[in-house]
Amino acid sequence: MKRTGTVALALAACILVATAAMAAEKKVRWNMAMTWNSTLTPFVNAPTKVAKMVSDMTDGNFVIKVEGAEKHKAPLEILDMVKGGQYQMGHSASYYWKGKDAVTAIFTTMPFGMNNDEQNAWLYYGGGLELMQERYSQFGLYAFPGGNTGVQMGGWFRKEIKSLDDLKGLKMRIPGIAGEVFAKLGVNVTNIAPGELYTSLDRGTIDALEWVGPGMDIKMGFHKIAPYYYAGWHEPATDLQFLINKKEFDKLPPSYQAALRTAIQAASADMHYENFAMSADAWASIKTEYPNIKVMTFPDPVLAAMKQATDEVLDGYAAQDPFFKKVLDSQRAYMKKAREWTKMSEQYYLEQSAKVEQ
């Protein structure tokens, strides 16, 4: 009995040691850097919700600390920081890396491109996500959709845009492919971190800027300086992005990997819902609370020039980079197919509803 008891105690001790070791292995602590300041909702809500869901799903063993741009001071360098291992994760927008790799820009959105439903369908069921992983593997990263804003507004302007001549010499903050399109039309384009937008507009560093939509724009106060608010053309489905250091992700237990992927997709979808709700609320109050805002649409000749310039920019990149062409061809083919259903479903419904409401 004594010997049996000794063996049992030894076995129990081994089990306790093994259990403690397993528990220690399960403790994971990550840091995530955002392009946004910690107060910029709803953008910051997706990362914070991911962190909470991952913690909840792993009983607090996988903890992600989310850090805003006011802390790390490098809002447009998220890719480099995650690639270099300073942070295991980042939350930003893919078109901020266009200078490193132009194809990353059209993973965010494309002027005159797909809407939110079309783009998400392409990403998750049309091969888009696989193409994104293939491209980002060169940086040692995984990339996932990080929340879609839907159609963004075309920007805030100090003066009315009546013709292409009004664009020439204009100083404007606008990133991505749209920035190159405007540059072809004579605009002096710059990219400024989100936290510096109002100050730059107020000081006259820029004459115009685009941000997101009424839900996020109005509370930034842009209308106090630049009252002409134009409808969108350049970002019909702007996907933010989660970047993950590939080596760090591959070290995670499979259950943690699944938890992180699930949390990312859920939080990304929720950010779109929240952004839409914020914009709907803001738009409903524009006429009564902000009567100085002049809602505008770009003249047809200006839009036509934008479309022509967009095709020239995209086709130029495609001619230089076979992978850019591969992604662009995939997007264009999927949009051509999906747009027919969008017209028959969403557009037809809206047109018929408008007739009845009249």
**Is 138 in the same domain as 219?**
no
Nearest CA among 214, 225, 243, 211 for reference residue 93: 243
**Is 193 in the same domain as 209?**
yes
What pLDDT is recorded for position 318?
Answer: 98
**Is 62 in the same domain as 164?**
no
For residue range 52-61, list pLDDT tens digits in order: 999 999 999 9
309: CATH:
3.40.190.10
Nearest CA among 300, 289, 275, 293 for reference residue 157: 293
**Is 166 in the same domain as 259?**
no
77: CATH:
3.40.190.170
What does the pLDDT profile of the chain (358 residues) look like in tens digits? 444 444 444 444 443 333 333 444 589 999 999 999 999 999 999 999 999 999 999 999 999 999 999 999 999 999 999 999 999 999 999 999 999 999 999 999 999 999 999 999 999 999 999 999 999 999 999 999 999 999 999 999 999 999 999 999 999 999 999 999 999 999 999 989 898 999 999 999 999 999 999 999 999 999 999 999 999 999 999 999 999 999 999 999 999 999 999 999 999 999 999 999 999 999 999 989 999 999 999 999 999 999 999 999 999 999 999 999 999 999 999 999 999 999 999 999 999 999 998 6
Q: Is the backbone of residue 101 left (phi > 0), alpha (psi -120 to 50) or beta?
A: beta
**Is 85 in the same domain as 189?**
no
CB 264 within 8 A of CB 242: yes
Per the structure, the count of domains in the chain is 2
**Is 42 in the same domain as 87?**
yes
**Is 38 in the same domain as 121?**
yes
**Is 59 in the same domain as 132?**
yes
Report d(CA 358, CA 352) in Å as an integer: 10
Residue 355 lies in a domain: no
**Is 76 in the same domain as 134?**
yes
Phi–psi pair at 341, nearest 5 degrees: -75, -35
**Is 34 in the same domain as 109?**
yes
Residue 307 lies in a domain: yes
What pLDDT is recorded for position 287?
Answer: 86
**Is 99 in the same domain as 212?**
no
Residue 344 lies in a domain: no
What size, in residues, is the chain? 358
Domain, as residue range, for 186: 155-234+291-320
For residue range 93-110, list pLDDT tens digits in order: 999 999 999 999 999 999
